[in-house]
Amino acid sequence: MTLPLVECIPNYSEGRRPEVVEQIAASILAIPNVRILDRHSDVDHNRTVVTLLGDPQAVSEAVFRSIAKAAELIDLNKHEGEHPRIGATDVVPFVPIRDISMSECVELARSLGKRVADELGIPAYLYEEAAQTPERVNLENIRKGQYEGLKKEIQKDPSRKPDFGPAALGSAGATVIGAREALIAFNVYLNTDDVSVAKAIAKTIRFSSGGLRFVKAMGVLVEGRAQVSMNLTNFRKTSIALVVETIRREAQRYGTIIHHSELVGLVPQEALVDAAVWYTQLDQFDPLQVLENRLVSADQTMSADYTFLDDLASDQPTPGGGSAAAFSAAEAAALTAMVGRVTQGKKKYESVEAEAKEIVAKSEALREQLTQAIKEDAAAFDHLMSAFKLPKETEEEKATRTLAIHEASIMAAQAPLETARMSLDVLGLADRIAQIGNLNAITDAGTAGALSRAAVSAAGANVRINLANMQDDSQAARLLNEVDEIETSTEAKYADLKNRLKERANITLL
């Protein structure tokens, strides 16, 4: 099974002393299962941005150690730079990457904030998705007045009290921690040293001043050039191309031009492809027309399948039959969607195109749910195994263990039962697309039906084994009755599917 991955992009208020940055990076790399993907230091901003990726708990530990190291080596009382800041480790956003939800990233941010306050004595603020009040969603509200202003106000203004930690700033300042979607740190340099031009353009394009949605911007002087420094918080709704062209037009008004641009940290490939499509005016572009995307898509599909099969063949009890049932049903849903897609756009089947599209949408939704069910079934069984391992020395421990086993058994049965329900739904869709869909793909619809039927049978067996010793329990009896009903409906629907194949293509399905 794939492991969850989280990205974290801590910003440190140091960009002029490489030896300090190296020590901070070393504190991160000392933690296993964490990789530094990128590191960007800017002398004028006096700031370093590190992008790291890894297991959520490992990343949290690595960032905590880096905050401690930065507090040891950076004195905000002596710090100067173009970029706003309130802390030695100024801001720490968590970004969900794979198999981790935004709510889980919020929990990471909050637990790290509490730990930073409790163990390091550094005030911690929560922002973006982790914010506990609307006023603290936007980072600039928390960072108002920077270190010097906050140092004065934090002790006397209740609205500036941190979410965790003391209402006083030491030499490490405060740290802002949160969770958000991926953003793009993007800077545009102008062919002038007049920073007032960059500031005027920044005011025009940033959303807070009435400009472009999802753009935060300021004007600064960097390397002798006026720079429009930006964060693009949703590149899908406000693209890089739109931002660049808006700046280009505004620059012309002030008698200058764009000199060059730069990225700080990493950028989603999709954002650059979107810019390329915009500038080249590609019509009806499909991301899978990019060779690397097509290769990655194929590799990921093969890798995911073989990783699951390797796990299934291992000496571990999970994943087991329930997960295998969900996997088979997900395959059936994918095949059903495929038959629906090859039916669309064909003149011969234009009368059923709308229904074929609906079948595709429903099949894809079921495929996504069944893919998630693979993990949920394994997790439910692992929970049951943990219940069996509870101590049973005293009467109280025995009672606690018995209750835990009962609840875990019900949970372990409900997971494959839900798979059985969804598998029957897939079978219904396979039957319908076999009836109306592209005749050239009818055996694929038949294969989807056979896989769905097998998934129901396998899931039902797993429901029964988990409830084997609970026949007298009313909740267990209800689940077992539902399994019987699903299996009866499955056989009837499968018989219908066999008739479709016989009638339309003279194919016999066993």
Q: With cut-offs at 50, 70 and 90, classify the pLDDT of residue 299.
A: low
Burial 250-267, CB ≥16 within 10 A → b, else e: bbeebebebeebeebbbb
pTM (predicted TM-score): 0.55
Q: What's the pLDDT score for residue 292?
A: 75
pLDDT higher than threshold 60 for residue 208: yes
| Fold assignment, 316-505 | Four Helix Bundle (Hemerythrin (Met), subunit A) (1.20.120)
Can you tell me the distance from the alpha carbon of 433 to that of 447, in angstroms, rounded to the nearest whole number?
12
Q: Which two tokens stand for residue 35?
A: 């990789």
> Worst-scoring range by mean pLDDT, 24-38, 410-424, 460-474, 481-495?
460-474
Q: With cut-offs at 50, 70 and 90, classify the pLDDT of residue 422.
A: very high
Percent of the chain with pLDDT over 70: 97
pLDDT higher than threshold 80 for residue 300: no
pLDDT higher than threshold 60 for residue 58: yes
Q: In this structure, what are the phi and psi dihedrals at residue 87, rounded to the nearest 5 degrees?
A: -150, 160
Q: What's the pLDDT score for residue 317?
A: 84
Q: What's the pLDDT score for residue 376?
A: 86
- Domain-by-domain residue ranges, the chain? 5-179, 184-280, 316-505
Which of 83, 163, 274, 431 is an active site residue?
83
Long-range contacts from 235-239, C-beta under 8 angstroms, 24+ separation: 235/184, 235/268, 235/270, 235/271, 235/274, 236/270, 236/274, 237/213, 238/212, 238/213, 238/214, 239/271, 239/274, 239/275, 239/278
Can you tell me the distance from the alpha carbon of 39 to that of 20, in angstroms, rounded to the nearest whole number?
13
Q: With cut-offs at 50, 70 and 90, classify the pLDDT of residue 315.
A: confident
Q: What's the pLDDT score for residue 3?
A: 72
Q: What's the pLDDT score for residue 388?
A: 86
Using DSSP, state whether 356 is helix, strand or coil. Answer: helix
pLDDT tens sequence across 326-340: 999 999 999 999 999
Q: Average pLDDT over the chain, rounded to whole? A: 91
Q: Is-contact 52 28, C-beta < 8 A?
A: yes
Count of other CB atoms within 10 angstroms of residue 312: 18
Can you tell me the distance from the alpha carbon of 309 to that of 244, in angstroms, rounded to the nearest whole number?
47
151 or 289, greater pLDDT: 151
pLDDT higher than threshold 80 for residue 348: yes
Q: Which two tokens stand for residue 477?
A: 């009896």
Q: Pick the closest to residue 41 from 52, 31, 51, 54 (CA basis).
A: 51
pLDDT higher than threshold 60 for residue 358: yes
Place of tokens 């499509």: 277
| Most confident range, picked from 241-250, 442-451, 499-508 | 241-250
Q: What's the pLDDT score for residue 471?
A: 63
Can you tell me the distance from the alpha carbon of 27 to that of 44, in angstroms, rounded to the nearest whole number?
25
Q: What's the pLDDT score for residue 236?
A: 87
pLDDT higher than threshold 90 for residue 472: no
Q: Is the dihedral of CA 113, 117, 120, 122 positive or negative?
A: positive
Can you tell me the distance from the alpha carbon of 406 to that of 468, in angstroms, rounded to the nearest whole number?
11
Q: Pick the closest to residue 207 from 176, 223, 231, 191 (CA basis).
A: 231
- Average pLDDT estimate for 382-394: 86
Which of 42, 377, 425, 444 is an active site residue?
377
Q: With cut-offs at 50, 70 and 90, classify the pLDDT of residue 283.
A: confident
Percent of the chain with pLDDT over 90: 70
Residue 383 annotated in active site: no
Place of tokens 């198999």: 99
Phi-psi region of 214 (alpha: psi -120 to 50; beta: other; left: phi over 0): left
Query: To 10 degrees, the CA torsion angle through 472, 473, 475, 479?
Result: -40
Residue 163 annotated in active site: no
pLDDT higher than threshold 60 for residue 467: yes
Q: What's the pLDDT score for residue 363?
A: 93
pLDDT tens sequence across 154-205: 999 999 999 999 999 999 999 999 999 888 999 999 999 999 999 999 999 9
Q: Is-contact 163 178, C-beta < 8 A?
A: no
Q: What's the pLDDT score for residue 305?
A: 52
- Average pLDDT estimate for 423-430: 95
pLDDT tens sequence across 433-446: 999 999 999 999 99
Q: Indicate the DSSP class of residue 3.
A: P
pLDDT tens sequence across 226-239: 999 999 988 989 99
pLDDT higher than threshold 70 for residue 453: yes
Can you tell me the distance from the alpha carbon of 61 to that of 57, in angstroms, rounded to the nearest whole number?
6
Query: To 10 degrees, the CA torsion angle through 447, 449, 450, 456?
Result: 140
Q: Which two tokens stand for residue 74?
A: 């950076």
Q: What's the pLDDT score for residue 1?
A: 45
Q: Does domain 184-280 have CATH number 3.30.70.670?
A: yes
**Do the two domains 5-179 and 184-280 of this chain adopt the same fold?**
no
| Fold assignment, 5-179 | Formiminotransferase-cyclodeaminase; Chain B, domain 1 (3.30.990)
Q: Name 80's Cβ contacts closer than 8 Å, sequence gap at least 6.
A: 46
Q: With cut-offs at 50, 70 and 90, classify the pLDDT of residue 491.
A: very high
pLDDT higher than threshold 70 for residue 301: no
Q: What's the pLDDT score for residue 302?
A: 53
Q: Omega before 319 cis (within 30°)?
A: yes
Can you tell me the distance from the alpha carbon of 386 to that of 124, in angstroms, rounded to the nearest whole number?
36
Using DSSP, state whether 86 is helix, strand or coil. Answer: coil
